[in-house]
Amino acid sequence: MKIDLSDKIALVTGGSGDLGRVICRTLAGCGAKVAIQYHHNAGKADSLVAEIRDQGAQAMAIQCDVTEQGSIDRMRNAIVQGLGEVDILVNSAVIQYEPKKPVLEQSLSDYEGQFRSCVLQNVLMAQIFAPAMISRRWGRIIGINTECVMLYNELHSAYVAGKRGMDGVLRVLAKEIGVHQITVNQIAPGFMISDRDRALDRLSIPWYEEHVPLRRRGEDQDVANAVAFLSSDLAAFITGAILPVCGGHIMPAI
């Protein structure tokens, strides 16, 4: 049994980011053609395209503001012309903001940014890319959420609010388009090890790991593996789910 996405086209938003790059490499390694969305990191996106092509897979990079409908429309047109209609949509992009403050002090613009990049992104991407999936009666929509939605950590109110809004949109969407054999799922990573951590030699964080049942941090590849699984026919009867990839740090209950 293996994951074969050789006849699929995947779009990863935030594809030039730390987590997005590994997701793109993994989907390409499963045979998918990959469209890499970036906002500012053109150099990283182009480098990733070259890397994937060197491995014998097809890829392209597209600049897009995933909070603006016109920009997403232009991205879709470019992907259709360059690769074809998108089968697998991975929404990973999010606006970063600092500093994180208590609710009473956090800037309203930070809440607005999280709403736009977590909620509106998922709404707009579905409105623009799901109709073609519906016509083919096959599609995968995967949102990258976070364990923070169930931890409610201090100073993270804007991030948690945006990601919980995203959760609501995607669960409703799963019910609305499931009849067309399109699955809609989410992945909730923990505090994963990324290339940034490797560069800083920050592989272990004891204060975090002591609360994780597996007593260690996971890696970006663990998240990418979950994306590949949910993208495949192995997960054809899974929809409306949120899959924690966090070593048991959160355990959603029934």
> From the candidates 97, 111, 159, 208, which is the catalytic residue?
159
Q: Is the CB of residue 34 less than 8 Å from the CB of residue 27?
A: yes
Beta bridge partners of 11: 35, 89
**Radius of gyration of the chain measured on its C-alpha atoms:** 17
Distance CA 27, CA 254 (A): 31
CA dihedral over 202, 111, 140, 85, signed as positive or negative = negative
Q: Is 159 a catalytic residue?
A: yes
Q: Which of 86, 65, 84 is nearest to 74 (CA)?
A: 65
Please report the beta strands in the chain, taking only residues with DSSP state E, as ranges in sequence order: 9-13, 33-38, 59-63, 88-91, 139-144, 182-189, 242-245
Catalytic residues: 159
